[in-house]
């Protein structure tokens, strides 16, 4: 029985991915606890902190299949934490009381935090893989539509032409920055925790720092400079990264939704028979993936804020804020995985109507090119006078519903300097794309360097 949309047998394929659910599953989390206890026994046996016989016996039982998960649930509900239940079970599996050396010098939060870091490592790999695929699809669109004119919009009103490649390259630039952030984040976040009751490792009289270093090396994690039991900026930063990624995916989905409107019709989500249809209106083609992205990333942002709340922890071991992470971190990763999956499907299969883009540019009868005309006339009339003159002619064009070129060509002040052919050149959208193509090339070059 599943109450969460992430675990729902109906919705889970929409809101997350099986791979990310596996990372944050009970089985994988418990496997991480066992992996850490195994690594700790290996290191402490090597250092002579525990008998080698005990280390070998502990290691022989550190397998997930030897942990009774039903019993672990009962132990966790009674104790309040799952780690002690795992330790108890491992202890009882060992012969001749050798299991008493399980978890030597560690505390519950050491194992819990380190397991979380191991899960984050796996989760970040999944996120980065999806970002790389989305970047590749955006780069393809940017390259193919480098000089494809589309109307730029400001305050939801038509502004001046840009190119569709320019729009895609803008989003691509953010995706590339997220990949950089993710790479930088790894060094700060992929750090183990092994510090004992209050973070001082007082429980290990000799070889404490050697144990910590060895454990970190065994797990392939960084060694902390100091305990971080209640210093949680690393986990909060992880949540902030997910929130930033979600914001960019939300920007993408917002533009797709707006460009899919019937009155616009410039792009469409990939078509599959029946997808986006209405139960009552057969003609509809709704933006399904973009709607899911919007919902997913909205919740991820709230979870990022909750992880910052969890930073406000008391003293050396906290009373409650820590558990916020247990609740929201897995869901944030699962939801961002779903949003990435939806966004990848959109950009890899996006349908583009170049004719509709041109039609929308021309729907105002040339008014969207008024800035180009003003700048073209400025050398003859002065910029301010050219602005006021073109402004008045735009108002007249709207009132009379006549194309702007006709009114421009009839104006005696303009006709004295510029002929109709030159006016038509000024009014051609392809001639007023600015540095769109150059900027696309710069982003693509950056991606080539980033790899």
pLDDT tens, 35-60? 999 999 999 999 999 999 999 999 99
Count the neighbouring beta carbons within 10 Å of the beta carbon of residue 326. 12
Q: What is the Cα–Cα distance from 242 to 265, expressed in whole angstroms?
A: 31
Which domains, ranges and CATH numbers included, belong to the chain?
120-193+227-352+436-451 (1.20.200.10), 367-426 (1.10.40.30)
Helix or strand holding residue 437 (H, E): helix 436-450
Look up 95 and say whether it is catalytic. no
Question: For residue 432, how many C-alpha atoms fall within 13 Å in the half-sphere facing its CB?
Answer: 24
Catalytic residue among 46, 153, 186, 317: 317
- The CA R_g of the chain, rounded to the nearest whole Å, is 30
Q: In terms of DSSP bridges, do strands 149-154 and 351-352 run parallel, antiparallel, or are they unpaired?
A: unpaired
Catalytic residue among 4, 95, 275, 278: 278
Structure tokens at 100: 């008493």
Count the neighbouring beta carbons within 10 Å of the beta carbon of residue 416. 9
Q: Residue 283's pLDDT is what?
A: 66
Total-model pTM? 0.94
Cβ proximity of 83 and 37 under 8 Å? no
Structure tokens at 422: 């030159």
Nearest partner of 218 among 228, 210, 227, 208, judged by Cα:
210
SS3 state at 169? helix
Nearest partner of 220 among 90, 114, 329, judged by Cα:
114
SS3 state at 419? coil
Q: Return the residue matching tokens 């969890």.
A: 310
Q: How far is CA 335 from the centre of its chain?
A: 10
CA distances to 158, 165, 358, 428 from 436, in Å: 17, 8, 17, 15
Cβ proximity of 166 and 148 under 8 Å? no
- pLDDT tens for the chain, 451 residues long, are 778 888 888 888 889 999 999 999 999 999 999 999 999 999 999 999 999 999 999 999 999 999 999 999 999 999 999 999 999 999 999 999 999 999 999 999 999 999 999 999 999 999 999 999 999 999 999 999 999 999 999 999 999 999 999 999 999 999 999 999 999 999 999 999 999 999 999 999 999 999 999 999 999 999 999 999 999 999 999 999 999 999 999 999 999 999 999 999 999 999 777 665 556 766 668 889 999 999 999 999 999 999 999 999 999 999 989 999 999 999 999 999 999 999 999 999 999 999 999 999 999 999 999 999 999 999 999 999 999 999 999 999 999 999 999 999 999 999 999 999 999 999 999 999 999 999 999 999 999 887 6
- Scanning 48-96, the segments in alpha helix (DSSP H) are 52-61, 69-79, 82-93
Look up 78 and say whether it is catalytic. no
Burial of 199 (0-12, 13-18, 19+ CB in 10 A): buried
SS3 state at 161? strand
Q: What is the Cα–Cα distance from 205 to 47, expressed in whole angstroms?
A: 13
């Amino acid at each position: 029985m599943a109450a969460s949309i992430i675990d729902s047998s109906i919705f889970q394929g929409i809101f997350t991915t099986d791979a990310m659910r596996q990372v944050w599953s009970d089985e994988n989390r418990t496997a991480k606890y066992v992996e850490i206890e195994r690594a700790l026994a290996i290191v402490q046996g090597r250092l002579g902190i525990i008998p080698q016989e005990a280390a070998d016996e502990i290691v022989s039982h550190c397998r997930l299949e030897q942990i009774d998960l039903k019993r672990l649930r009962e132990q966790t509900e009674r104790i309040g934490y799952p780690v002690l239940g795992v330790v108890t079970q491992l202890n009882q599996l060992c012969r001749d009381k050798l299991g008493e050396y399980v978890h030597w010098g560690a505390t519950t939060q050491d194992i819990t935090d380190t397991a979380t870091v191991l899960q984050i490592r796996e989760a970040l790999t999944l996120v980065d893989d999806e970002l790389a695929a989305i970047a590749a699809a955006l780069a393809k669109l940017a390259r193919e539509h480098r000089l494809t004119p589309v109307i730029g919009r400001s305050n939801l009103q038509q502004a001046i032409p840009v190119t569709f490649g320019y729009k895609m390259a803008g989003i691509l630039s953010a995706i590339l920055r997220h990949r950089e952030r993710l790479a930088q984040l790894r060094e700060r976040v992929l750090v183990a925790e092994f510090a004992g009751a209050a973070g001082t490792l007082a429980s290990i009289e000799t070889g404490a720092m050697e144990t910590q270093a060895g454990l970190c090396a065994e797990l392939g994690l960084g060694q902390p400079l100091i305990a971080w039991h209640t210093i949680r900026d690393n986990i909060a930063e992880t949540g902030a990264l997910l929130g930033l990624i979600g914001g960019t995916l939300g920007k993408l989905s917002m533009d797709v939704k707006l460009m899919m409107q019937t009155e616009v019709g410039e792009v469409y989500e990939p078509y599959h028979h029946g997808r986006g249809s209405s139960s009552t209106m057969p003609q509809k083609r709704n933006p399904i993936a973009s709607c899911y992205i919007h919902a997913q990333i909205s919740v991820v942002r709230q979870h990022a804020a909750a992880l910052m709340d969890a930073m406000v922890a008391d003293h050396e071991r906290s009373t409650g804020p820590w558990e916020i992470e247990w609740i929201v971190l897995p869901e944030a990763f699962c939801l961002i995985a779903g949003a990435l999956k939806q966004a990848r499907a959109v950009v890899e299969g996006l349908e583009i109507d170049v004719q509709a883009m041109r039609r929308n540019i021309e729907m105002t009868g040339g008014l969207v090119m008024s800035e180009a005309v003003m700048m073209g006339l400025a050398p003859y009339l002065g910029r301010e006078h050219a602005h006021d003159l073109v402004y008045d002619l735009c108002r007249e064009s709207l009132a009379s519903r006549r194309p702007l070129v006709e009114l421009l060509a009839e104006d005696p002040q303009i006709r004295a300097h510029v002929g109709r052919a030159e006016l038509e050149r000024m009014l051609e959208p392809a001639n007023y794309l600015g540095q769109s193509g150059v900027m696309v090339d710069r982003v693509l070059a950056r991606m080539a360097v980033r790899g």
